[in-house]
Amino acid sequence: MDGEECEALEKLVYMWGYLPGALPQRTPLLTPFRVPVSGYNWKDVSGGGCGFAMAISEPGKLITWGSTDDLGQSYVTSGKHGETPEPFPLPNEVSIVKAAAAWAHCVAATDCGEVYTWGWKECIPSGKVFGETLSGVSPEKDAQGKQGSFLTEQVSPRSKVSKSTGGTVSGGEISTKRRKVSSAKQAAETSSSGDDILTAMPCLVTLNPGVRITSVAAGGRHTLVLSDIGQVWGWGYGGEGQLGLGSRIRMVSSPHLIPCIDSSSYGKDISASLSQGSMSSEGQNFRIPGSCIKAIACGGRHSAVITDAGAVLAFGWGLYGQCGQGSTDDELSPTCVSSLLGIRIVGVAAGLWHTVCTSADGDVYAFGGNQFGQLGTGSDQAEVLPRLLDCQSLENVNVKSISCGARHTALVTDNGKVFSWGWNNWALGT
């Protein structure tokens, strides 16, 4: 099939898994179901959050559907209660090129390099808010005044995450019931202001002059964005090091530059803990291959990036080995996954407890938690170092793109086939 024939094919979007509100019966979709076209020409699929899905149409409109939270919290995040895909209420002139959804917040980049984010209030940095909150707050309000509880707080580097809590409150997996109760309680306590509700309307993120963002990633409670010159910015919760700033910063209320390769180019304020041009993490003292970052990914409480030379750096929560360092320690700064050096990595995705990478040769490497088979190794044993997926179903297969849910993984091959593995209560569509 030549290129012209490929372009002529209609782009279809399919959905499956736990998407209440996506169909009238409000039951999990156990097999792939075609999303109603509704007059849209699809451009890209952006994933979904808690009970809703997102995609981008050809004109650059962010299309959302699903969600059934009658208290309104998911309405703010998803933009739509129901089965019909509709444009998310962003300013009319905005054209979206990349978008990502986490448990309860979303982030999107425009063709002009700007960033909008919305959802859980603690995930939203300072900026200009568009639209009206559930309590009728005026549009285009400066979000700085709305972030009274959004303070930057640091804790001792010794206050490691307890292993005994690893399965209770996991990056973004805060109990929906608890969120609903809190939302209802706060709504009852405030009658004239929306400042105390848990969700925030779309916010135009304030970045340094001249910064143009081309890609975005959303984690459990943190966000990363990638600029056109290969710099990574982050904000939100950083208690396990997922913001890569060298310490356990619990909350970062404005975008901060994350020193990934040569710290000397990233400013003196956050480079003191890194030696120039090298990583200071224990056991590493070499220059990271590459000159800029080409791809980013957020897991529940960890992050991963790829350099232009194909090296992988990971940072954040390491309890299950999801940082690929051969240990279960948290990584507070971007740390090279040294066992992958010499392999040109081109794609990376992260789930709640695991990380998956794809190489230029079309191979797949996985590491981290494996309780539900999300690594695809054929067992449920965690992997603290990257492991090549050597299975019959992926023989002679070249991977084009990869994605992780909380507890499952999916990939698309260069010939258009889809593979998935991991937790199968709702997610795999098999």
Q: What is the mean pLDDT of residues 190-205?
A: 61
pLDDT attached to residue 211: 96
pLDDT attached to residue 177: 32
pLDDT attached to residue 277: 35
DSSP string, 337-354: -GGGTTS-EEEEEE-SSE
Q: Which residues pair with 312 in a beta bridge?
A: 306
pLDDT attached to residue 299: 96
Q: What is the mean pLDDT of residues 21-50?
A: 75
Higher pLDDT residue, 161 or 352?
A: 352
Element (H, E) at 73: helix 73-78
Cβ-based neighbour number of residue 273 at 10 Å:
14
Most confident of the ranges 38-47, 173-182, 305-314: 305-314
DSSP string, 358-426: EETTS-EEEEE--TTSTT-SSSS--EEEEEE---GGGTT--EEEEEE-SSEEEEEETTS-EEEEE--SS
Residue 417 has pLDDT above 90, yes or no: no
Q: What is the mean pLDDT of residues 79-83?
A: 76
Cβ-based neighbour number of residue 180 at 10 Å:
16
Q: What is the mean pLDDT of residues 232-245?
A: 96
pLDDT attached to residue 425: 64
Q: How is the chain split into domains, by residue range?
A: 1-124+126-161+178-205
Q: What is the dihedral of CA 77, 80, 85, 90, to 10 degrees?
A: -60
Cα distance between residue 137 and residue 132, in whole Å = 5
Would you state the structure tokens that stand for residue 79, as one six-digit string?
Answer: 């933009």
pLDDT attached to residue 290: 94
* Phi, psi angle pair for 368, to nearest 5°: 115, -155
Element (H, E) at 428: none
pLDDT attached to residue 69: 59
Q: What is the mean pLDDT of residues 228-237?
A: 96
Residue tagged 């098999």 (tokens) = 430
Report DSSP state, residue 249: B
Report DSSP state, residue 51: S
Confidence label for 170 from pLDDT (cuts 50, 70 and 90)? very low
pLDDT attached to residue 82: 76
Cα distance between residue 204 and residue 246, in whole Å = 27
Residue 424 has pLDDT above 80, yes or no: no
Cα distance between residue 301 and residue 385, in whole Å = 18
**Cα–Cα separations (whole angstroms), residue 280 to 188, 238, 302:** 50, 19, 19
Lowest mean pLDDT among 18-22, 51-55, 137-141: 137-141
Query: In the predicted model, what is the mean pLDDT of the chain?
Result: 76
Burial of 91 (0-12, 13-18, 19+ CB in 10 A): middle
Cβ-based neighbour number of residue 139 at 10 Å:
13
Q: What is the mean pLDDT of residues 340-350?
A: 96
pLDDT attached to residue 38: 73
Residue 139 has pLDDT above 60, yes or no: no
Q: What is the mean pLDDT of residues 104-118?
A: 95
Confidence label for 147 from pLDDT (cuts 50, 70 and 90)? very low
Higher pLDDT residue, 29 or 191?
A: 29
Residue 86 has pLDDT above 70, yes or no: yes
* Phi, psi angle pair for 183, to nearest 5°: -65, -45
Put residue 406 in one of left, alpha, beta given phi > 0 → left and psi -120 to 50 → alpha.
alpha
Q: What is the mean pLDDT of residues 102-112?
A: 93
Residue 52 has pLDDT above 50, yes or no: yes
pLDDT tens for 252-275 read: 989 999 999 864 333 333 333 333
pLDDT tens for 61-76 read: 998 888 765 555 567 7
